[in-house]
Amino acid sequence: MPRSTPSLGRRIGLALSVLVQPELAARVLQLRDGNFASPAPAADQSVRPADAPSQPAAATAMRENSAEAALQLLGLLQRDARFVDFVQEDVVRYSDADIGAAARVVHEGCRKVLREHFSIEPVRAEAEGSRVTLAEGFDAASIRLTGNVVGKPPFAGSLSHRGWRVTDSRLPKLAPGHDASVIAQAEVEL
């Protein structure tokens, strides 16, 4: 049975959940790489080594996550960067220059939120384009192999993206009764 594509809002919520929960990010990578009993369909089958089993012997149960942290982050991005307003806007009628000017403001606000609430560092220290060798036992949760992946490590290749890792998160505490699903209040001018 084909899977339906989630809406943009659902994908943003999922992406934000992965951003603030390193354990969830690791699990998503494992799922993508086929390390669970029911992996999501992969568009690029070449990322799995040829000798890797298609299904693991035992399934691992996924835990439920609270969406509050993702909703809180989305609210912060809206407050400081007007992120949701920008993404929800139909930009077809605007010129590239107008979109670029708006994107600059959104970028500045998003960057402010990330720097204020997260410590983020590259997964790999080498410059993109550098040649790297991955020894047996490399961390498959933080490094994704692409291209013609065959055989066993060591693998030698070119670093196409350094990756990002959240080392600390500092989201504000929520007041009792706070409805995190309201990421931006409606405004009524009197």
Q: What pLDDT was estimated at residue 144?
A: 95
pLDDT tens-digit readout, 19-77: 666 676 677 666 666 665 443 434 443 344 444 444 454 557 788 877 899 999 999 99
For residue 136, give the nearest of 114, 158, 151 by alpha carbon. 151
Residue 190 placed within a domain: no
Range of the domain at 143: 8-52+65-169
Give the dihedral sign, CA 38/43/45/47.
negative
At residue 80, the 3 state secondary structure works out as helix
Q: Is residue 59 part of a domain?
A: no
Residue 40 lies in a domain: yes
Kindly state whether residue 46 falls inside one of the protein's structural domains.
Answer: yes
CA distances from 177 to 129, 173, 180, 184 (A): 49, 12, 9, 16
* Residue indicated by tokens 């505490």: 173
Give the model confidence (pLDDT) of 94-104 as tens digits. 999 999 999 99
| Structural domain count, the chain | 1
179 in any annotated domain: no
| Confidence (pTM) | 0.63
Residue 176 resides in a domain: no
The runs of H, that is alpha helices, within 59-164 are 68-81, 83-88, 96-117
